[in-house]
Each structure stands twice: as structure tokens, then as C-alpha cells.
Amino acid sequence: MDRWFQVMELPWLNVFLRHGGLRGATVVDALDTLYIMELEEEFQEAKKWVEKSFDLNVNGEASLFEVNIRYIGGLLAAYYLTGEEVFKSKALELGEKLLPAFNTPTGIPRGVINLGSGMSWSWGWASAGSSILAEFGTLHLEFLHLSELSGNPVFAEKVMNIRKVLNRVEKPQGLYPNFLSPVTGNWVQHHVSIGGLGDSFYEYLIKSWLMSDKKDSEAKKMYDDALEAIERHLVKKSAGGLTYIAEWRGGILDHKMGHLACFSGGMIALGAEHAGEERKQHYMDLAAEITNTCHESYARSDTKLGPEAFRFDAGSEAMATRLSERYYILRPEVVESYMYMWRLTHHPKYRQWGWEVVQV
């Protein structure tokens, strides 16, 4: 195996992202990968950095969502793989620093927090000071583990309260809009997307059910009901026979898919694996169709890499028609769906499609 970190010309620990003053996002996010790939030297170097240099006492604008999935998620994965206490203690310490974001009238957290002061606020671009579905809906897996590991129920209570708010609020056509007020608990505008702003909320529902050993019936029902509404209102087929998931803006469909929405092929396949026999094949077929459409967005581009968004209007299908959408930023969602589809069907085309992306 090539030691791919060597191309960075060590010390590679100097090459990493920051979030709100926190250093080392690349290092922490890669801990489990380093361990699984048996890159022992690099893993030990990363562990040493976490022990000696990972400073949590910082000020700056940090995304609650990003800190949770990259730092806490990365630390928890490393802890469960290795049993090293340093990863557990850092995850719990960081989790404590995120709690002030939940100090709102509804308990729906604001999207941005200063880890040093505990002050939190909503993103400036978020409509009317709202919180974002994909952000506050993508905390459940990690926060339940923080309570499990610490014995402190507060983390689980915070994310279970999010469920209560979402179950209480009326959902237009059974759909979950992307913007919710943390003050009133009401939707701020009726924009629904399975791509950016909404995506991982749905993913966390089915995975929360699986993580609970299929005991979290509330998560499963929320997932099943959401998928039913998505299929009824958003899933469309183009004139050329491509199945896609449109966006919904107050009842008006926008016939586009973002690259981020392409995770849904894998998610639907994962859910199909655990659906009733009468629906299992239906959802596997839907997952395959959506994954094929996302593959077409790659195959039809000049570079053979999928664009940030692709459309199904004005005679174009699965192609970026706007300059602002014609870029690729190493998003993994399409390849992620290939991986799920390969694991669940073992059809060789999914491996081939993944290899084609690597070769580009």
C-alpha cells in the first residue's frame, strides 16, 4: 500500500483545516481511516498531536454541525476502534462546549458557536435567524454516544428534544422544510431539499434506528414517513427516463439535483434492506435509478466529474446548465452511493463506476 500521506512531505500535520479556531480538522477526521488502513506511523503521529496540541480553549466562529461530525465524530470513531482514553476525553470535553448552542426558547440549537465564550448565533445567511434542518438534524448519533460514554443524560436529552419539536410542528405535505426558527419552533420558509440544507437529517434517521439495534421506532417512523412524502412529491422521471429528486419551494418544483443529494441512492438502498418484503424491491429499484442518474451527471460532463448541481429542464438532463454550478469540490456523495449499492447488490458496475472516478 502506498503511504499516501508521504506526498505531503511530512510533517503532514501542518496541512489541515480549521473550524472556529479549532485546528486539525483533517487530522481528527482521518483518525479512523489511518487506523483502518494500518498506517501505523501516521496514526501514532496523529494521536500524539491530539494528546499534546489539540487545544479546545479557542475563540472563533465554529459551526455546531461541522464540529460535531468532524471532530466529535472523528474522536468517537477513533475511541471505539482503539479504546484509547484520550479520544474519549477530548470528545466529551468538546461536547460540553457545544451545549450552550441549545440555549434557545425551543431547544433547537443555533448554528454557530464561540467555543471559548459559549455565545451562539444563527448564520447570517440563514433566513430570519433560522436554524438549518441538516445541521440540527445531524447531531443524534454522536450525542447519544456522548451520553452513553459519560453517563450524563444531557446530550441525549438535547437531541431527543429536537425530535419532539419536529414531531410537533406541522409538515407541509409531510415534507420537512430546511429552515426552522429556534425561537418559535415554526418553519421560516417552505424550501425542501434532499441535497444541501436538508440531506443528512434523513440519513441520521435511518442510521439512528440501526444504531439502536432497531429499537428506536420513532426514528424509523420519521424516516419512513419522510421517504414516502419525498417519493410522492419530489421524485420525478425525466423525458429521457432518468429518475431524480427535485427541490420544492412552497409547492413549486425546481427540477434540479445537487451533488449533495446523490447520497440518497445509498441511503434509500440501506433503508430498503430493512423494509418490509412488499416494499424492499421497490426501494432498491428506486435507489438504483437515482444512483444511475447521479452517475449520468458524471458521464455527461466534459471532465467526467459530476457538477455541483445538475438540472432537468430546457431540454437538458443531468447536466449543469448554469455557470455557478459547473464545478467539482471533491464531494463524496456519488461514490458513497456506489459503495452502498455495491455492498448490497454486488453488481460489478458500481465498482467500475467508482474506479472511473479515481482514474479521472
Amino acid at 309: A
Taking alpha carbons only, the member of 306, 303, 300, 314 closest to residue 336 is 306
Q: Which of 199, 203, 317, 336 is catalytic?
A: 199
Q: Respond yes or no: is residue 356 known to be catalytic.
A: no
Q: Which of 135, 317, 333, 336 is catalytic?
A: 333
Q: Which of 32, 308, 317, 336 is catalytic?
A: 308
Query: Are residues 250 and 188 in contact, defined by beta-carbon separation less than 8 angstroms?
Result: no
Query: Are residues 141 and 77 in contact, defined by beta-carbon separation less than 8 angstroms?
Result: no
Residue with cell 437529517: 201
Give long-range contacts, CB 8 A cutoff, 24+ apart: 25-33: 25/66, 25/70, 25/71, 28/54, 28/70, 28/71, 28/74, 28/75, 28/78, 29/70, 29/71, 29/73, 29/74, 30/74, 31/74, 31/75, 31/77, 31/78, 31/87, 32/74, 32/77, 32/78, 32/81
Cell representation of residue 149: 460514554
Q: What are the C-alpha distances in Å from 109 to residues 6, 182, 236?
A: 40, 7, 33
Q: Respond yes or no: is residue 289 known to be catalytic.
A: no
Q: Which of 29, 66, 317, 336 is catalytic?
A: 66
Phi, psi dihedral angles at 190 (to 5 degrees) = -100, 70
* Residues with catalytic roles: 66, 199, 308, 333
